[in-house]
């Protein structure tokens, strides 16, 4: 069991027959009245987010999310194939399960497959990836002092905002959680 007073970002628990993950939490102690915990929760199965307030003593059963390392192999229409690194078994997942999480992943990259009680509900890409810029407008000399960005398409097809000095063919490092450019690779 987990109490609302023990909430941390990323904690998972069952509530009303659903599995939720804490996205944000704030312990609030008003001048009058009892303390409470204000949270923003994400339903790990459907992806919907809700805001809810709990008493710090509320108890919920903890949900254990299994994270398994797998390698992304290829996609075939609406199916994406992943290989278990231990058994070499291939697992096909549909577009509804994969969602938007593969926009920075290319073939043969390792990802974490997320499941709850044997049901796969999502994919967790590596936190940082290095990808090649395949299309962007050329930069101009001297445009490095300002914080101006331009769109660039990387090899997976995703569009990222990059500084003006980045050119076609450059390798860049991207934070997959935010989709932001970090640095040249």
Of the candidates 47, 46, 29, the one whose C-alpha atom is nearest the C-alpha of residue 38 is 29
- Domains of the chain plus CATH, in order, are 2-60 (2.30.30.30), 66-124 (2.40.50.140), 128-184 (2.40.50.140)
Q: Which of 131, 83, 89 is nearest to 108 (CA)?
A: 83
Q: Phi, psi at residue 4, to the nearest 5°?
A: -65, -25
DSSP 16: T
Question: What are the tokens at 153?
Answer: 């398409």
List, in sequence order, every residue forming a beta bridge with 58; answer none if it has no partner.
none
Helix ranges (DSSP H) in the chain = 95-98
How far apart CA 167 and CA 115 sit, in angstroms, is 39
Provide the pLDDT for residue 120: 82
Query: Rounded CA gap, 104 and 114, in Å?
Result: 17
Contact 143, 157 (CB under 8 A): no
CB 167 within 8 A of CB 180: no
- The pLDDT, as a whole number, for residue 146 is 67
Q: What is the pLDDT of residue 141?
A: 59
pTM of the prediction?
0.69
What is the residue-level pLDDT of the chain in tens, covering all 185 positions?
888 888 888 788 988 888 888 888 898 888 888 899 999 998 887 778 899 999 988 998 988 888 889 999 998 888 889 998 889 999 888 887 777 778 888 889 999 988 888 888 778 888 899 999 999 887 665 555 667 888 999 998 889 998 888 888 899 999 888 888 988 87
What was the pLDDT predicted at 70? Answer: 92
pLDDT value of residue 171: 92
């Amino acid at each position: 069991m987990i109490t609302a007073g023990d909430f941390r970002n990323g904690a998972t628990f069952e509530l009303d027959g659903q599995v939720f993950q804490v996205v944000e939490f704030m312990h609030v102690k008003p001048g009058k009245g009892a303390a409470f915990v204000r949270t923003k929760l994400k339903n790990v199965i459907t992806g919907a987010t809700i805001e809810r307030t709990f008493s710090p003593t509320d108890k919920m059963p903890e949900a254990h999310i299994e994270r398994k390392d797998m390698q992304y192999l290829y996609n075939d229409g609406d199916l994406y194939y992943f290989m278990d690194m231990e058994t070499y078994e291939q697992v096909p997942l549909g577009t509804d399960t994969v969602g938007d999480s593969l926009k920075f992943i290319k073939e043969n990259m390792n990802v974490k497959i997320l499941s709850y009680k044997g049901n796969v509900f999502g994919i967790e890409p590596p936190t940082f990836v290095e990808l090649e810029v395949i299309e962007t407008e050329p930069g101009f000399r001297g445009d490095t002092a300002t914080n101006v960005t331009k769109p660039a398409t990387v090899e997976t097809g995703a569009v990222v905002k990059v500084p003006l000095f980045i050119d076609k063919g450059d390798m860049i490092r991207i934070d997959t959680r935010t989709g932001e450019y970090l640095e040249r690779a």
